[in-house]
Amino acid sequence: MIDRRWTILCVLFLARTAMGFQFQSIASVAPQLSSSLLITYTEIGLLIGLYFLPGALISLPGGFVMQRFGDKTICAFGLCLMVIGGLVLGMSESFAMAFAGRLISGTGAILFNQVLTKMATDWFAGREIVFAMAVVLASWPFGVAAGLLLQPDLATSFGWASVMRLCAGLCGLALLLVAVAYRSPPAASAGARVPLPGPARPLSLPPRPQLAPVTVAGIIWANANVGLVLFFSFTPELLREFGFSPIAAASLPSYALWILMLSVPLGGYLVQRAGRPDAAIILCCGVTGVTLALLSLDLAPAALCAIFGLVMGIPAGAVIALPARILSAEDRAAGLGVFFTAYYALMALGPLFAGWLRDRSGTAVTAMLFAAVLFLAIGPLLLLFQRLAAVAKPVAE
């Protein structure tokens, strides 16, 4: 009989896939949305980034809310907001209404993502935690890749609003799946401590020496993810500029994301075995940045998309583990709040700036070069993190 924790992991993977699918929807229907609502690509970029903007405001209080009302309740609430936001966006006849719908779904996605991460940790603490978190991370590119494959054709055949309604429906299915299949882990589960809902305890920020490196770690994680978002948001348009058919232009980045879905858990395993996480981060992010720069020059796009998917996923687990190097157990909740605040703020601003670059230049090349710069900046940022972390109080092993 399959251990229940693996069933739970499958449930969480499928539920988070719906989040990736909904996120991708704006980029997939950008041409139709732009012509229908008469909006610019700067506004398209704003709608893309708006999915993450609430995280800059609610990451810190999100922990209080989960502690007060419980994981499953907040998970259901977040998914309900994602359903409502998707339906509002599908009915939009103006940019203001689209803005409101995207903001609602983004708020739900932030709460959902935060509590889902905790759910996975509760079930796998002291067991296969590294592999489980890698699987959870892989659900995001899985949903995005599915969106790249399906959403453009659906928008062409039935209109862009049908894509938004489909996203809302999938979020509703995820809500039903979590409600029926998810259970909290047993109290005695291999070192897992699952707090019961109750009055929120006051949180204090970590000691000042830890704040700077945690913030830099959040910027590093944001750079990698903004670069990824720009890749699957602007590569289809870039390839169309190079003369690719719409189907081929959508398929190539989708293939890269299917490769990425496999390289994230496999890369995490290999990096952990090698014991050289910093070297993996610097090398892989540097190669990824060069790959995107070459892609903007129309040099072997098919091969470069495959290289991007393979190399970009390898250091993902090492990057997300950076805060654990310096945060003690008692400071981890607030410290991760700082980490995700920096992350979500840049995730909101990055696509907006990329959309502005595309509008100013009239080509997706500038957005792709910006993504390349973000990846190339990770090496120097990691060196800064190492220097700041050396000043912070080390975490006892």
Distances (CA, A) of 386 to 272, 334, 341, 375: 18, 21, 20, 18
Q: What CATH number belongs to 1-185+197-202?
A: 1.20.1250.20
Residues 6+ apart with CB under 8 A from 338: 60, 205, 206, 211, 214, 215, 218
Instruction: Name the burial class of residue 377, with classes exposed (0-12), middle (13-18) and buried (19+) by CB atoms within 10 angstroms of its CB.
Output: middle
Following DSSP, what letter does each residue of 294-327 receive, concatenated? Answer: HHTTTSSHHHHHHHHHHHHTTTHHHHHTGGGGT-
Listed residue (1, 263, 5, 271) closest to 127, CA to CA: 5
DSSP for residue 195: P
Is the pLDDT assigned to residue 65 strictly greater than 80?
A: no
Listed residue (324, 317, 19) closest to 141, CA to CA: 19
> What number is the average pLDDT over the span 375-382?
97
Cβ neighbours around 92 below 10 Å, total? 21
What is the SS3 string spanning 100-159? HHHHHHHHHHHHHHHHHHHHHHHHHCCCCHHHHHHHHHHHHHHHHHHHHHHHHHHHHHHC
Q: What percent of the chain has pLDDT over 90?
A: 48
Same CATH topology for 1-185+197-202 and 207-397: the answer is: yes
At residue 194, the pLDDT reads 47
Is the pLDDT assigned to residue 303 strictly greater than 80?
A: yes
Is the pLDDT assigned to residue 74 strictly greater than 70?
A: yes
Distance of alpha carbon 222 from alpha carbon 156, whole angstroms: 32
Q: Which residue has the higher pLDDT, 76 or 1?
A: 76
190 pLDDT band (50/70/90 cuts)?
very low
Is the pLDDT assigned to residue 201 strictly greater than 70?
A: no
Q: What percent of the chain has pLDDT over 70?
A: 90
Return the half-sphere exposure (C-beta side, CA atoms, 13 A cut-off) of residue 369: 10
pLDDT, one tens digit per residue, over 232-241 is 889 998 999 9
Average pLDDT, the chain: 86
Query: Could you state, in order of their start, the residue ranges of all structural domains in the chain?
Result: 1-185+197-202, 207-397
At residue 189, the pLDDT reads 46
Distance of alpha carbon 135 from alpha carbon 296, whole angstroms: 31
Q: What CATH number belongs to 207-397?
A: 1.20.1250.20
At residue 298, the pLDDT reads 86
Distance of alpha carbon 50 from alpha carbon 83, whole angstroms: 16
> What number is the average pLDDT over the span 149-170?
95
Query: 3-class SS at 187?
Result: coil
At residue 322, the pLDDT reads 82
Residues 6+ apart with CB under 8 A from 163: 25, 28, 29, 90, 151, 154, 155
200 pLDDT band (50/70/90 cuts)?
very low
Single-letter residue type at 60 = L
